[in-house]
Structure 1
Amino acid sequence: MKKINNFLFIFSIFLFIFSIFLFLSNNLAIDSQEFYTSVEISKKNVMGLDVNGTALKFGRISRGGSSTRNIIFYNDYGFPVLVETEVSGDISSFLSHDPTSLVIEGETKKITFSVIAPRDQEVGFYEGIVKLKIKPV
């Protein structure tokens, strides 16, 4: 009886450790990338454009205005991935985006980010970081 109890105890510890390993391996990002992002909100009805391949710069928009930028993601990992997006900084309260995108092997996906400035938004320069986390599905 004691041998059976010892075996069950050791087996349950093994299952617990194996479960933790599976949980962590499925939730770890295999890659990540960060992009600087910014927008200037002005009183005037103007629109400024900033073309940049390494940052999400929305240029200058007026209160009540909007601007959109895209990141093109190509999945060359050889398996489906989930692209999770996180935004930090003072731009995050009015930067709209899809928090997750499923991208199958060999697919190119456009991930869209839009800044929508409320009409009562304080005039100023807002910035932050967009982080893409790539996880296996």
Structure 2
Amino acid sequence: MMFENPINTAISSWRWNRFFHPRGYNSPISEVLMNKAELVSAVADKAGITKAQAAAALDQVLGGIAGALRAGDKVTLVGFGTFSVANRGARTGRNPRDNKPIKIAAKKVAKFKPGKKLADEVNGKGGKKRK
């Protein structure tokens, strides 16, 4: 018996991920994603501009956030969230092949903390509107 192609339908993809995905995703909702091209298209449609203009604007916003984080600054978008840099210290990990300890170097990582309005919208509360 041959296996069903997991790409054919959302349900078969859900079943495939449920049993074979390394993190064991078990919900069809985990299949819903928005990539950069879809975000550019949505911005262009909402703002009434071309996709090229929307892509340029998005690149500038993301570049500005990345530049500020590179400089060690914190970026706060009120109602949306805060981007910041955290220092992750050096630590000892384990090589999964031979279970021997390895040294993992210290590094900086980007963090995002959602704002209250965004968190409320994600949780279906709609957020409080100010007068």
Which structure is larger by alpha-carbon Rg, 1 or 2?
1
Does TM, normalized by the shorter one, top 0.5? no
TM-score by length of 1: 0.23
TM-score by length of 2: 0.24
More helix by share: 2
